[in-house]
Structure 1
Amino acid sequence: MTYTLLADSGSTKTDWALITDGTVAARIRTKGMNPFQMSEDEIANEVETALLPQLQSACGIGTASSKQDDACTLSNLHFYGAGCTPEKIPVVERALRRHLHVTGVCEVASDMLGAARALCGDQPGIACILGTGSNSCAYDGKKIVKNVPALGFILGDEGSGAVLGKTLVADILKNQLPQTIIQRFNDKYHLTAADIIDRVYRQPKPNTFLASFVPFLQENLSEPAIYSLVKEGFRRFLCRNVKQYDGWNQLPIGFNGSIALIYRQPLEEVMREEGMKVGKIIQAPIDGLIEQEAAKWKP
């Protein structure tokens, strides 16, 4: 029996799926394995201590020293990860191969390519990520052909949780929202302007702090001012990123990420208003990757 192992890795978590005969044999979650944040040894250790025991429990897959005639053979490995730039790909591949016995393809690629494959499969399209940050690319069915730089939450990341949160907080502090909403915000968070400025300008991970206000937007989405704030955030993402790709008004545009899923209705509204074709909208790339891999087994 042979197995294909899929992985979608961010900076905080990695989702794994073990596939055989077109079905999921195991789904596993470990820490994120961003090579810009972890050394080769640290990644290898996470594979050995967190992933491997669960693989062995699921189907008996052994370590890199296992015999090739083991009852369970890992035939292919596809790892899509944040930070997997061309210079970092060999680092991740070496770390994976230390403890995983792979007889066939061992592919390490960017998380953006993983999102494109999950959303578009082998067809041309435009793939977008809307989570804490945002990103996008044009995809020809095999590879990424163009990628507008995301630039982070200060210069870019339009439509992301961090930027939607930033817009909300700025509008609260500058009294740009109805007083009922401002009062609701203050009652919920008890933050002064000084508190917010300290968290954004002096403390680590201000993007995560700003994205933490996404639940407030969700809770108050029925308020016209909040609904408009979210819609305009998505419009900026589409106009400043997606419209730079050839065929943006013809190709399906897919999204993955919590923000895209939570705010699917306003997102689709803006896309229709801008004359865009709505593609898949999924929570996580691993779901789409599983679907694509399972399809290979169909007669």
Structure 2
Amino acid sequence: MILIADSGSTKTDWCIAHNGEPVKQMRTKGINPFFQSEEEIQQELAHYLLPELPDGELKAVYFYGAGCTPEKVPVLRRAIADSLPVNGNIKTESDMVAAARSLCGHEPGIACILGTGSNSCFYDGKEIVNNISPLGFVLGDEGSGAVLGKLLVGDILKNQFPSTLKDAFFEQFDLTAPEIIDRVYRQPFPNRFLATLSPFLAQHLHEPVVRTLVFNSFIAFFQRNVKQYDYKHLKAHFIGSIAYYYKDVLQEAAEETGVKIGQIIQSPMEGLIRYHNQTSSDNNLESSIT
């Protein structure tokens, strides 16, 4: 059995796979070693994941997630080794690598993430060759749930939306302006909070002011990220809840900027299972030949 993890800022999807087939899928809170200590990660794994795992040892763990920078990888590996029954390799990669492997497999392409955060890269079929830094939701993350939420509350609080939409927003989320300011500037994980507000846009996408906000944010993502790669010869593939639920607007923004769209999927897990099964098969074939 192998364990594959796809971790974003909001949630972590886990899948036990055997011989290329999913055995059991689980979900915990998002795990990010950039923001969490080794002890906090251990507690999350021990309390919420370990009790859900099938009996037996894990041949390997492949953890893909935000915050998996080289200096933070040892923290995550130790937390996994100390919390889970692993009798084999523990490999950690960024969520961008997960998207590239899931969307492109062993073929070159432009892989993009539009979820709580956003990111993009040029992938040559083996590794990421170029990656425009997303810069986070304050300086970048165009088109992400966090930025859509940020733009939404900014327009709501500055009276840029019709009063009917503004009233509907405050009624739906039961928030006041001071509470929003507190959640964004004083509480932890403001990006997660802002992303939870973005579904309001999907619910009111028929409103011109809402559609324009989403469309312009996607235009910014293409202009400031995708168009810095070889977009004239390669398709841009997308993964994440924002890309999936706003796919019609995303397609419109792509056409406006001259970008060709490939796959748009919600989760990388199926593609990651396929990738690791294929990689394992190729390695086994290579070993038998040599």
TM-score by length of 2: 0.85
> For residues 29 and 183 of structure 1, do their structure 2 counterparts lie closer, same or farther at Cα, with a shift above 3 Å needed?
closer
CA contact (8 A) 1:158 1:233 kept: yes
The corresponding residue for 1:101 is 86
Where 1:109 maps in the other structure, the secondary structure is strand
In structure 1, C-alpha distance between the alignment counterparts of 2:254 and 2:202, rounded to whole Å: 19
Residue equivalent to 1:284: 267
Output one character per residue of 1:265-288: Cα deviation in whole Å (capped at 9) or x when no partner: 100111122221212222222232
Kindly tell me: are residues 277 and 96 of structure 1, through their superposed partners in 2, closer, same or farther at Cα, counting changes over 3 Å? same
Residue in structure 2 matched with residue 225 of structure 1 by the alignment? 209
CA contact (8 A) 1:77 1:102 kept: no
2:28 is matched with which residue: 27, 30, 33? 30
Distance 2:60 2:266 in 1: 24
Q: Distance in 1 between matches of 2:17 and 2:183?
A: 43
After TM superposition, give the deviation of residue 179 of structure 1 in Å. Answer: 4.4
* Structure 2 residue 256 is matched with structure 1 residue 273: yes
Quick one: structure 1 residues 84 and 20, their matched pair in 2 at CA, closer, same or farther if it must change by over 3 Å?
same
| Alpha-carbon distance in 1 for matches of 2:144, 2:257 | 19
Deviation at 1:188, TM superposition (A): 3.8
How far apart in 2 are the matches of 1:25 and 1:54? 12
Alpha carbons of structure 1 residues 97 and 177: separation in structure 2 relative to 1, 3 Å: closer
For residues 185 and 86 of structure 2, the distance between their equivalents in structure 1, rounded to whole angstroms, comes to 46
Q: Where does residue 83 of structure 1 map in the other structure?
A: 67
Question: Gapped runs of 5+ residues in structure 1?
Answer: 63-73
Aligned to 1:176: 160
Whole-angstrom distance in 1 between the partners of 2:209 and 2:141: 21
Distance 1:86 1:121 in 2: 23
Aligned to 1:252: 235
Classify 1:279/1:175 alpha carbon distance in 2 versus 1 (closer, same or farther; 3 Å): same
What whole-Å deviation, never above 9, does each CA across 1:137-173 have from its counterpart, x for those lacking one?
2211121112111122221111111221222233333
- Tell me the TM-score normalised to structure 1 length: 0.82
1:7 to 5, 10, 14: 5
The count of aligned residue pairs is 281
Whether contact under 8 Å (1:19, 1:294) holds in the other structure is: no
- Partner SS for 1:176: coil
2:147 is equivalent to residue 152 of structure 1:
no
RMSD: 2.6
More displaced stretch, 261-270 vs 160-169: 160-169
Equivalent pair of 1:254/1:279 in contact (CA under 8 Å): yes
On the 8 A contact 2:60/2:86 being kept in 1, the answer is no
- Cα offset, 1:236, TM superposition: 0.5
In 2: Cα distance, 1:42 partner to 1:81 partner: 16
SS at match of 1:279: strand
> How many angstroms does 1:233 deviate by?
0.8
Q: 1:111 to 1:173 in 2, by over 3 A?
A: same
Q: Which has the larger radius of gyration?
A: 1
Aligned-partner Cα distance in 2 for 1:272–1:202: 39
Between the aligned partners of 1:202 and 1:277, the Cα distance in structure 2 is 40
Q: What is the letter of the counterpart of residue 264 of structure 2? A: I
Which residue pairs with 1:262 in the alignment?
Answer: 245
Aligned to 1:212, the other structure's residue is in SS state helix
Match of 1:135 among 119, 125, 128: 119
1:64-85 CA-to-partner distances (Å, cap 9, x unmatched) read xxxxxxxxxx333211122111
Tell me, in whole angstroms, the C-alpha distance in 2 between the residues paired with 1:47 and 1:213.
28
1:30–1:226 Cα change, 3 Å: closer
Partner AA of 1:223 in structure 2: E
CA distance in 2: counterparts of 1:190 and 1:4, whole angstroms: 43
Distance 2:43 2:199 in 1: 35
Change (3 A) 1:279 1:194: same
Judging changes above 3 Å, is the alpha-carbon distance between structure 1 residues 243 and 185 closer, same or farther for their aligned structure 2 residues?
A: same
Deviation at 1:241, TM superposition (A): 1.1
